[in-house]
Amino acid sequence: MSSSDTEPRVLSTTTVDTRSLQHLAALVRTPESETIDVVAPATNESIGAVPNCSKASVGRAVERSRRAQKSWKQTSISERSAIINRFADLVLERQKWLLDLVQVETGKSRTDAVEELLDVPQTCSYYAESVTDELTPTVRRGALPPATTAKVVYEPVGVVGVISPWNYPLTLSVTDAVAALIGGNTIVLKPDEKTPFIALALCELLTEAGLPDDVFQVVTGEGAVVGSKLIDTVDYITFTGSTETGRVVAARAGENLIDCSLELGGKNPLIVLDDADIETAARGAVQACFTNAGQLCLSTERLYVDESVFDSFISEFIGATRRLTLGTETTFDAEMGSLINQKQLDRVESHVSDAVTHGAEVLTGGRRRTDIGPFCYEPTVLTNVTETMQVATEETFGPVVSVYSVSGVTEAITKANDSMYGLNASVWSKNQDRAQTVASQLDCGTVCINDGYIAGWAAVDTPMGGVKHSGLGRRHGPEGLHRFMEPKTVATSQVGPITAPAFLPNAWYIHGLIALTRIQRRIQSLSKQMGSHRRLR
């Protein structure tokens, strides 16, 4: 475990031009003079400040957004898509600036910063290409065909509030917003107060791409003030963060009778079956456990390894973990960066200390590394972990994983599902059919086979989200677009009111409706049988 072979270039206030940060802070439209300092995790030094918005400022931003939405929803889908595609191009063109900004605000490695940057243009391309098909009105069966017809049209919900987290501030500040924008909604974004500058940079790029004024706004400040006012005034709220805060968001959304989507915590399991390629599984587990120093909602925190391959897997996994390079430089040499702040470091140390006190063994790691950065902590592997320990059931959200030996696949599945969370899981096996069978029995929103999380996260055509206490709703895929749309049914009668004609007695009309219902059911049954026959052929 070491810093890079050469002296690392530590992130500091000189990494990003402070004048550019002042320019970004000025994008927040508020009269308040009170500010919040933003601190670089790599140095624990202030890099700038952003306004601490009041509830009144948030309310005004939502009012501007509501006015802007009236014209934005009338903008053609092709024009909205073109703006989103230009924005994606700008993200790739300004990648160095954005990567520097992500690193200075989060302390993550350059490689991890690239991972989230690439998610943005991929998501933009997907929705720009698919939105026309997804939002084209669809014809449905009418009540009394052919006398009546029906179709479904899709309309934007209105003003969408986005509350984004600090761990992946580039992609999670904008990819949900992209789906909402392309559907004709407007956005008011509340970034985490620890990472506001990247959100403001994205706002500037959207404006440069041609997005009209007030269609995408950023309000900065404390969650209890800004977030609560946002939920009280918007038409839809999407939140990414802890399960504890997610419950508060959901309750407040319920009070306002608005819909919400929540991606929350995880205690994600990784299962190594007895026929897995051990070297590959160990390498994949390192990535799954320690990307962004474990500060990833999809990160693995529990490893269940078949007892027949446990020793060989542990040997490979510990070796690969010890070879990881820690650092805070802006080159690609460091593989794992810093934790976000002292609070997160305290949580990691508390979980490890509690585990060791109650009998767990540290196989590698278990130390903070202030020689590399004030909040750096070694990737840590624990064994002999029991259910009474905090680390066994609580989300650590740091570079700590517990490894368990299991007697077989049944025990692995049972233990993997024994959690209040259900976000992501990973299964490793050379037998694809066997792995698919295991995947079907895991209680979670996404299962990756022979990969930790990227295969699922980067599949932007598929929905991503959690079950149980890991959240509500889905991002990505058609589902990630339709959550921001209201389906409206437009039904048309070709024969006037669906009621008895003046010349027909009511009793005859009722008998006729009953007979027609029987005929319709028979026709539907025959159509289904014929469809099944065609599929069999």
**Residue 8 in this model has a pLDDT that exceeds 80:** no
**Residue 349 in this model has a pLDDT that exceeds 50:** yes
Q: If you classify domain 53-264+479-486 with CATH, what class do you get? A: alpha beta
Average pLDDT over residues 39-53: 96
Of the listed ranges 308-317, 409-418, 502-511, the least confidently predicted one is 502-511
Contact 186, 216 (CB under 8 A): yes
* More confident of the two residues 65 and 525: 65
The tally of CA atoms less than 13 A away on the side-chain side of residue 414 is 6
Q: What's the confidence (pLDDT) of residue 361?
A: 99
**Tens of pLDDT along 437-469?**
999 999 999 999 999 999 999 999 999 999 999
**Tens of pLDDT along 153-163?**
999 999 999 99
**Residue 1 in this model has a pLDDT that exceeds 90:** no
- Between 3.40.309.10, 3.40.50.1700, 3.10.290.10, 2.60.40.420, what CATH number should domain 268-460 receive? 3.40.309.10
Main-chain phi, psi angles of 377, to 5 degrees: -140, 140
d(CA 466, CA 446): 8
d(CA 421, CA 440): 17
Task: With CA atoms as reference, report the closest residue to 448 among 270, 314, 251.
Answer: 270
**Residue 5 in this model has a pLDDT that exceeds 70:** no
**Residue 7 in this model has a pLDDT that exceeds 50:** no
Q: What's the confidence (pLDDT) of residue 10?
A: 45
The tally of CA atoms less than 13 A away on the side-chain side of residue 397 is 23
Please tell me the pTM assigned to this model.
Answer: 0.94
d(CA 74, CA 92): 29
Q: What's the confidence (pLDDT) of residue 529?
A: 74
**Residue 535 in this model has a pLDDT that exceeds 90:** no
Residue 106 has a CB neighbour count (10 Å cut-off) of 30
**Residue 533 in this model has a pLDDT that exceeds 60:** no
Average pLDDT, the chain: 95
Average pLDDT over residues 82-100: 98
Instruction: Check if 263 is active-site.
Output: yes
Burial pattern 322-356, b for ≥16 Cβ within 10 A else e, equals bebbbbbbbeebbbbbbbbbeebbebbbebbebbb
pLDDT band, residue 531 (cuts 50/70/90): low
Same fold, 53-264+479-486 and 268-460: no
Say which of 115, 263, 301, 329 is annotated catalytic.
263
**β-bridge mates for residue 402, sequence order:** 302, 382
**Tens of pLDDT along 173-192?**
999 999 999 999 999 999 99
**Residue 13 in this model has a pLDDT that exceeds 70:** no
Q: Side by side, which strands form the sheet with 259-263?
A: 216-218, 186-190, 159-163, 236-240, 259-263, 471-472
Percent of the chain with pLDDT over 70: 96
According to DSSP, the β-strands at 216-218 and 186-190 are: parallel
**Tens of pLDDT along 245-260?**
999 999 999 999 999 9
**Residue 14 in this model has a pLDDT that exceeds 50:** no
Q: Helix (H, G, I), strand (E, B), or coil: what is residue 247?
A: helix
Q: Side by side, which strands form the sheet with 485-493?
A: 138-140, 148-156, 485-493
- What residues does each domain of the chain span? 53-264+479-486, 268-460
- Helix ranges restricted to H, 107-227: 110-135, 169-182, 196-208
**Tens of pLDDT along 15-30?**
677 778 999 999 999 9
**Tens of pLDDT along 190-219?**
999 999 999 999 999 999 999 999 999 999
Contact 467, 422 (CB under 8 A): yes
Q: What's the confidence (pLDDT) of residue 201?
A: 98
